[in-house]
A = this chain, B = another copy of it.
Amino acid sequence: MSVLVTGETRVVVQGITGHQGTVHTRQMQLFGTHVVAGVTPGKAGTSVEGVPVFDSVQEAVDASRANASCIFVPAPFARDALIESVDAGIRLAVIVTEHIPFHDMLVMYHYAREKGARIIGPNCPGIASPGKAKVGIIPNVVFQPGRVGVISRSGTLTYEIVNGIKEHGLGQSTCIGLGGDPVIGTSFVDALPYFEQDPETDAVVMVGEIGGTAEEDAAEFIAHHFTKPVVAYIAGRSAPPGKRMGHAGAIITRGKGTAETKVAALEAAGAKVARFPYEIPDLVAGVLPTEAGR
């Protein structure tokens, strides 16, 4: 099993000939991922790190049977790249690209949803299952195979925490970096059911941030539908309130969205909440079934 990616995952890299695309194609390969095709319009016939490049995702899929996409194309073209991958039949797209206008992402999200495709990101580190596959940019070095799932809204902080789990002698089943943009394809609530159903996951670490109500919603889900132990951390407990003009945003999340409401909701749902990142590994070790995941 594992979550969303498996040993059968075959990745097409959209924007493979750019700097990031090329660097991370190599890293994905080193992780053991089947990177089967790349796409850059006008570059068909070339290759990057031994991976053949095509003009379109459809041509790439036809030639390589790719079933997941990793999108590195610049923000102005990301919307088109995602629609192209969905139309080519890809049902898992990791969008690494940052600075995509949320109006574009609204279209991408709902389009993918109608077509039954899952987006991770944008502006995210992606997904990785040690020993199986990685789609995205999480550093290979932080992983070792194990039974702890990680779901995070952060980037580098995720690496730090995943690495902490490894250094504690534990390993990860699957780690998903959701991305921190206003509109993301996969939220905590979307991701948790996969971990619930994954027989290779014994516990989940959830790394949240202040703002929005994604953590409160996750707590609600955990309370009613999640049976595995959860360790959570909320970054920004002591952050100053953002400068925000207009008050419409606050109206939506009224009475939610602060570190306090998130921590309280998660604790009420039975999660162990770490106050600092370095407390996480001990808490995880404490909730794991005896000897599991080591």
Contact = CB atoms under 8 A, between A and B. Distances in A.
Nearest to A113: B114
Interface string A98-112: 000000000000100
Interface size class of A (residues with CB under 8 A): under 10
Count this chain's copies in the assembly. 2
Interface in A110-148: 110, 113-114
A110 B110 CA distance: 10
Contacts of A113: 114
A116 to B, nearest CB: 10
A110 B114 CA distance: 7
Contacts of A114: 110, 113-114
Nearest to A112: B114
A113 B110 CA distance: 11
A207 to B, nearest CB: 30
Interface in A86-101: none
Interface of A: 110, 113-114
List of 3 A-B pairs having minimum Cβ-Cβ separation, nearest first: A114-B114, A113-B114, A110-B114
3 contacts: A110-B114, A113-B114, A114-B114
